Structure 1
Amino acid sequence: QDKFVCVVRDSHPLVEQGMDIERYASHSHALITMGGERKGAVDYLLEERGLSRRIALRVPHFIAALALVANTDYILTAPYGLVGSCAHHYGLAILPFPMEQKPFTYSIIWHERYMKEPAHIWFRQLVYEELTQKINRLHLECKV
């Protein structure tokens, strides 16, 4: 399981000011989208509260989003499991997502023809165990 956090450059004004939902919604945002979607999961959470955010930048790659956010005042909202171990390499601060949120679960998807293949079963289990350990370790270290 994982949760959303906000990533900003480490000298972003929100690092000192703190962030509530109104400040969050009023800033410009970066969105990681591979299919050109206009909204992310966070936008639907905001809509439940009658809020919206301005997506100023859409990029298809996680690393590109981090590099761009490091040089702008944009906010990137992403799963902690993705940003927890590499944000510091880009000079980024991780802030708590300013809304109540339910944790979400990652899924591993494969073609049904590999369902009973021993090597594939072994590999899926390995991926599951490694990712679970990594995300759990990151959450234990999490300060947000």
Structure 2
Amino acid sequence: MAIDHVDLARLDLNLLVALDALLEERSVTRAAARVGVGQPAMSASLARLRRLFDDELLTRAPDGMRPTPRALALAEPLRGALRQVQALVHREERFDPATVARTFTVSLPDSVEVLLGPRLIAYLRAHAPGVRLLLRSVDAARILEELDADRVDLALGFFTEGQAHHKRRLLYRDSYVVLFNAGLVGLDAPIGLDDYLRFPHVLTSLRETAHGVVDDALARLGRTRTLAVTTPRFLVVPFLVRAAPVIATMHARLATAFASALGLSVSPVPVDLDPVAVTMLWHASYDRDPAHRWLRDLLVRLAGEAPDFGVL
């Protein structure tokens, strides 16, 4: 569609900035503070926006201000347009990691955090001391919504879903191994299938389900396993394995690091499991953001430099 410059020139683009703040804060007072104007000025902007879109946009509710359906439909394309304008304006600015001051909110599982976190923070303190990280547990069911709402800058983990504006990049691939306490289970590597099924298992599941890829592989063989415990936290697994006659099937990089640190053993898995892909996920509006692109490139480099990560 051709741009109608005359029509567009009549629009105060600052109104779109105000609308974005209002939709994010759902409060005239907080939106005014976010933009850096007084409350009367923000109230006036809301009145103009209502005339412009011929819609109330935000209505009063017991818990604050509630966006109308029209406002909810505007929120994502508006945020994307403002990001593109910001990137256009700042694209030519020189980016220097040593002087940049920025906080990144990153969602990730604890398994990826323990592998990448130490190397990442060491690099940032040495080369980009103004970069701060706000790390959060990843919620696979809500991560796309959080990226769209700009509550998360970058997500790391095991993602298979997304829309056209959700960009994905491979961090690394990993295989699986069996983690066990040889002294408690009386086994040595490699473990056979019968021994593998003789002991109860520890399952890590981020989706709160007592079923994993191992169960699918066993079902194809007509076999099943017994679960002792299911947990959403990868980092507790080796301590459970060290304390009880149970075994766990874990990503090889993490399991090998824990085995070395805690005196545990690893073995190949006696069933066929596909490698797992650990990826990065972000909103397409940050594709050309220099600092965001720098962080993504850095993570890929750190993920590939040392397969065992040497973290424990």
Which one of the candidate residues 232, 235, 240 is aligned to 1:63? 235
Note the alpha carbon deviations across 1:51-103, whole angstroms, 9 max, x for none.
11111111221221111111111111011122222222222111111123333
CA positional deviation for 1:33: 1.7
Which one of the candidate residues 75, 78, 100 is aligned to 2:272? 100
CA positional deviation for 1:105: 2.2
Check conservation: 1:10, 1:91, Cα contact below 8 A.
Answer: no
Larger deviation, residues 49-58 vs 85-94: 85-94
Which one of the candidate residues 10, 15, 26 is aligned to 2:188? 15
Which one of the candidate residues 86, 105, 115 is aligned to 2:258? 86
Tell me how many residue pairs correspond in the alignment: 135
1:38 maps to what in 2?
A: 210
User: 1:65, 1:49 → 2: CA distance?
Assistant: 26
Q: One-letter code of the match for 1:72?
A: A
CA positional deviation for 1:44: 0.9
Overall identity of the aligned pairs, in %: 26
Check conservation: 2:181, 2:245, Cα contact below 8 A.
Answer: yes
2:283 maps to what in 1?
A: 111
User: 2:216, 2:181 → 1: CA distance?
Assistant: 25
User: 2:245, 2:221 → 1: CA distance?
Assistant: 24
Runs of 5+ unmatched residues, structure 2: 1-172
TM-score under structure 1 normalisation? Answer: 0.83
User: 2:174, 2:249 → 1: CA distance?
Assistant: 13
TM-score under structure 2 normalisation? Answer: 0.41
Aligned CA distance change for structure 1 residues 129 and 94 (closer, same or farther; 3 Å): same
Q: One-letter code of the match for 1:47?
A: A
User: 2:246, 2:283 → 1: CA distance?
Assistant: 37
Could you say which structure has the larger radius of gyration?
A: 2
Name which structure has the greater RCO, CA cutoff 8 Å, separation 6+: 1
Note the alpha carbon deviations across 1:20-60, whole angstroms, 9 max, x for none.
11221232000112331111111111111111111111122
Give RMSD over aligned pairs.
1.8
2:53 maps to what in 1?
A: none
Q: Which runs of 4+ in 1 moved over 4 A?
A: none
User: 1:112, 1:25 → 2: CA distance?
Assistant: 45
Q: One-letter code of the match for 1:27?
A: F
